[in-house]
Amino acid sequence: MNFRNQFYRVGVALLPGLPSLLAALTTFVLFMLFLTVQGKPAWEACQLVVQGAFGSAFALESTLQRAAPLMLTALCVALPARAGLIIIGGEGALVLGGLAAAVAPLWLPSMPTLLMLLCMAFSAMLVGGFWIGLNGWMRQKRGLNETIGSLLLSYIAIALFNQLVEGPLRDPASLNKPSTVPLGDDLLIGPISDQFQVHWGLVVGIIACVLAQILVRNSVTGFSLQVVGGNVRTARMMGLPVDRLVILTCVLGGACAGLAGMFEVAAVQGSANAAIIAGYGASGILVAFAARQNPLAIIACAILLGGIEASGSLLQRRLGLPDATTLILEGILFTSLLAWEALTPRIVAWRLRLNERVIQAQGALQHG
Amino acid sequence: MSNIDRRTLLKLAGLIGATAALPFSFARAADKPLIVGFIYVGARDDFGYNQAHAEAAAIIKTLPNVVVVEEENVPETVAVQKSMEAMIRQDGATLIFPTSFGYFDPHVIKMAERFPEVHFAHCGGLWQEGVHPMNAGSFFGYIDEGQYLNGVIAGYASKSKKLGFIAAKPVPQVLRNINAFTMGARSVDPEITTTVIFTGNWSLPIKEAEAANSLIDQSCDVLTCHVDGPKVIVETAEKRGAMTCGYHADQSALAPNGYLTGAEWNWETPYRAHVSASENDQPMINFLRGGLKEGFVKTSPYGPLVTAEAKTKADAIKAQMMAGEFAIFTGPLKDNQGNEVVAAGVALDQTDVVLESMDYLVEGVRGQI
């Protein structure tokens, strides 16, 4: 009896992960098939994917480095999703946040390095938060679909970014690569250590995910959000400040994306230029959906996606496969995740049944 | 330290022995193949900038004792840093060609500082002595010579006397090409004008197709461009019956009727120079430039619509360029606002750095920066 009880408990705990597991298996099979059909060494390719992503200390660095911005841009999707919004415009918040971080040291009076970095981070978050917050506001107050709205606002943000970087904010010395004035050397964020060449954005990304998890799981606000996301009418009937909660999640999500932009500028590029428009916002959507909008799962999913991208580099060099192979792998993975997502209602039912068994078994234990 | 047992001692002895043998193994490494890495910002088969590089890399691949590793679609982010590092650490590359302009600052500089024994040959011409690491360098070509010749051929071919230029961004390299193309055409007929459209970025195929259609609608009958992949522009023009001059690589296969000629890179020349320097343990070539004369740039074969007269004229100018006797930017030269930009009697040499901060469109260009 006790053993069965344990079995049911494990089942209840593992069931939510079933779609991910099935998706991973499907992806593996389809990817092997895709390569075999073309006459490519499928098994070797799969080995290289693992080796390129996690096979050595360097591979791990490469993976984690690529994952870092994705954690923050994924939060830009996952946080509003708790309130039932699908925001896909994180790219816009990222680029404008990066721009704000790049120009903050020019406009603010000089101050100690650490304080200046905090100011840069704050301005990036402010601008990113405003941009996505605007989406939330337009949805709640003007009835605009937030998915379309955020996508369009993202295009506007990128256009605005280009206009400013190539126009009024351009460093006249940046001739063929229009950029803002480069940050001073003291404001450049270096790697975590010489032995571990990953910038601090990774640490900040993980911290942000943990904080987000605490917010959505262990706070009153998080519970209110769950109600809003679950059923707005109920939330309104309960007297919850729905508009405020929705806009809050958007602002927080946008702030995360803005922060990602700040790290792209201060830890990677050294100035704001078109290179920061690299599609991190779009990859963040993939990560957030793969993580089912769960902040802690975002860490794992971002590392997974970072790993696939890192291994794409090895696949190209060792097997001469085109870069599109990596995109195909990502595409198969994402589609499988969404397809197996359809299992969710059944899983809820199975969970309920298993839970009943657990309770029955416990009852039997107490009485027996 | 007193408790070193025999086993540990043996291990240590083995380790010391291996270390002692190291110089020997290094000496043997001399006949190891040279591993060369190529990194492209776009697809290798884009009929444009990246293809020009990949075609030359394919030639390097055939050299004896050289192994080539390649990566395409690498963005100008931390991804390119990790790709360079991977080529060094996973493949053992000692010479790397990061071919996109935007890779240099900060990515190539950072990696060159971290791996001082590896040579980084960047394409774009940004390296400065005293500022950048000595194991990095950049090479570039004067492709405006090819665009001037494009202009001459276009000048003869155009019926409407209106040419079109689709450009990515109003940055000096691009402006220099627009100006050279226009001046080439106006050397044939001073009535000719070039209408320029800036798309805003290096690879925006939809906007490029729209711009091509719009220029043809404005009765421009010869188009050329400076974007990463001229494919859609050449295809659109061919479909609409307009003529084109190519850029970066040979696009004649895309437009068998309307393709006149093209300004192409010939990266084989600088690649070979860097490879042979690496093979012979010579110091890094930090600064390397050239035009038609030096074999950094070439022109596409003439298409069926090019007349004999046009060929004779263009070939004569090309011969002068090959002899180093031709200056494109000679005064008096006015910009399209009427200001004098090159004074009368001044002939700017191709190597003149003034040309690298060009910020004007010459007389005859319709458009503004």
Please give the Cα distance from A200 to B37 (Å, whole number). Answer: 28
Residue B66 backbone dihedrals phi, psi, to 5 degrees: -125, 130
Report the chain A residue with the minimal C-alpha distance to residue B76: A275
**pLDDT at residue A13, as a whole number:** 77
Contact B102 A62 (CB under 8 A): no
Q: With contacts defined as CB-CB under 8 Å, which chain A residues touch B171?
A: 175-178
What's the gap between Cα B226 and its chain centre?
11
Residue to substitute from A317, A325, A327, interface B, most B β-carbons within 10 A:
A317
Does A329 contact B at CB distance below 8 Å? no
Residue to substitute from A51, A199, A264, A323, interface B, most B β-carbons within 10 A:
A323
- Domain assignment present for residue A359? The answer is no
Residue A365 in tokens: 């234990």
**What is the number of CB-based contacts under 8 A between chain A and chain B?**
85
Give pLDDT < 50 ranges for chain B: 1-3, 9-10, 12-29
**pLDDT at residue B173, as a whole number:** 93
Contact B71 A316 (CB under 8 A): yes
CB neighbourhood size of A137 (10 A): 18
**Residue A10 to residues A7, A360, B16, B229: CA-CA distances in angstroms?**
5, 16, 53, 55
Contact A279 B172 (CB under 8 A): no
- Domain assignment present for residue A316? The answer is no
Residue B299 backbone dihedrals phi, psi, to 5 degrees: -120, 150
Does A54 contact B at CB distance below 8 Å? no
Contact B76 A275 (CB under 8 A): yes
Put simply, the chain A residues between 96 and 155 with a CB less than 8 A from any chain B CB are: none
- Domain assignment present for residue A58? The answer is no
Which of A177, A274, A317 is closest, CB to CB, to B201?
A: A274
**pLDDT at residue B27, as a whole number:** 39
Domains, chain B, ordered by start: 29-141 (3.40.50.2300), 144-263+306-366 (3.40.50.2300)
pTM (2 decimals)?
A: 0.87
Report the chain A residue with the minimal C-alpha distance to residue B105: A269
List all residues 6 or more positions away from B41 whose beta carbon is below 8 Å from its beta carbon: B49, B50, B73, B74, B75, B76, B99, B100, B102, B103, B228
Contact B86 A317 (CB under 8 A): yes
Does A178 contact B at CB distance below 8 Å? yes
3-state secondary structure chain B: CCCCCHHHHHHHHHHHHHHHHHHHHHHHHHHCCEEEEEECCCCCCCCCHHHHHHHHHHHHHCCCCEEEEEECCCCCCHHHHHHHHHHHHCCCCCEEEECCHHHHHHHHHHHHHHCCCCEEEEECCCCCCCCCCCCEEEEEECCHHHHHHHHHHHHHHCCCCEEEEEECCCCHHHHHHHHHHHHHHHHHCCCCEEEEEECCCCCCHHHHHHHHHHHHHCCCCEEEEECCCCHHHHHHHHHHCCEEEEEECCCHHHCCCCEEEEEEECCHHHHHHHHHHHHCCCCCCCEEEECCCCCCEEECCCCCCCCHHHHHHHHHHHHHHHCCCCCCCECCEEECCCCEEECCCCECCCCCHHHHHCCCCECCEECCC
Contact B102 A273 (CB under 8 A): yes
- Domain assignment present for residue A27? The answer is no
Q: With contacts defined as CB-CB under 8 Å, which chain A residues touch B87?
A: 317
Q: ∠ CA(B267), CA(B269), CA(B270), 5° rounding?
A: 75
Q: To which residue do tokens 């090409």 refer?
A: B177
Report the chain A residue with the minimal C-alpha distance to residue B174: A176
Residue to substitute from B82, B177, B355, interface A, most A β-carbons within 10 A:
B82
What is the domain range of residue A92?
70-293
- Domain assignment present for residue A332? The answer is no
Does A57 contact B at CB distance below 8 Å? no
**pLDDT at residue B8, as a whole number:** 53
Please give the Cα distance from A122 to A221 (Å, whole number). Answer: 22
ipTM of the complex: 0.86
**pLDDT at residue A1, as a whole number:** 52
Q: With contacts defined as CB-CB under 8 Å, which chain A residues touch B89?
A: 58
- Domain assignment present for residue A48? The answer is no
Residue to substitute from B78, B100, B110, B355, interface A, most A β-carbons within 10 A:
B78
Contact B86 A322 (CB under 8 A): no
Report the chain A residue with the minimal C-alpha distance to residue B72: A323
Q: How many distinct helices (H) and strands (E) make up chain A?
A: 15, 0
Q: With contacts defined as CB-CB under 8 Å, which chain A residues touch B72?
A: 316, 322-323
**pLDDT at residue A355, as a whole number:** 81
Q: ∠ CA(B198), CA(B203), CA(B208), 5° rounding?
A: 50
Report the chain B residue with the minimal C-alpha distance to residue A265: B77
Contact A197 B85 (CB under 8 A): yes
Strand-pairing partners, residue B347, are B330
Does A66 contact B at CB distance below 8 Å? yes
- Domain assignment present for residue A156? The answer is yes
Identify the three-state secondary structure at position A71: helix
Sheet containing strand B287-290, edge to edge, reads B66-71, B34-39, B95-98, B119-123, B136-141, B287-290
Q: With contacts defined as CB-CB under 8 Å, which chain B residues touch A175?
A: 171-172, 356-357
**pLDDT at residue B136, as a whole number:** 95
- Domain assignment present for residue A54? The answer is no
**pLDDT at residue A77, as a whole number:** 97
Instruction: Find the distance separating the first CA and the last CA of chain B, reported in whole Å.
Output: 74
CB crowding B305-335: b at 16 or more within 10 Å, else e: ebeeebeebbeebbeebeeeebbbbeeebeb
Peptide bond into B332 cis (omega under 30): yes
Contact B169 A178 (CB under 8 A): yes
Contact B43 A62 (CB under 8 A): no
Report the chain B residue with the minimal C-alpha distance to residue A185: B106
3-state secondary structure A97-156: HHHHHHHHHHHCCCCCHHHHHHHHHHHHHHHHHHHHHHHHHHHHHHCCCHHHHHHHHHHH
The domain total for chain A is 1
How confident is the prediction along chain A (368 residues), in pLDDT tens digits per residue?
Answer: 567 777 777 877 778 778 888 988 999 999 999 999 988 899 999 999 999 999 999 999 999 999 999 999 999 999 999 999 999 999 999 999 999 999 999 999 989 999 999 999 999 999 999 999 999 999 999 999 999 999 999 999 999 999 999 999 999 888 888 999 999 999 999 999 888 999 999 999 999 999 999 999 999 999 999 999 999 999 999 999 999 999 999 999 999 999 999 999 999 999 999 999 999 999 999 899 888 899 999 999 999 999 999 999 999 999 988 888 888 998 898 889 888 888 888 888 888 888 888 777 777 666 64
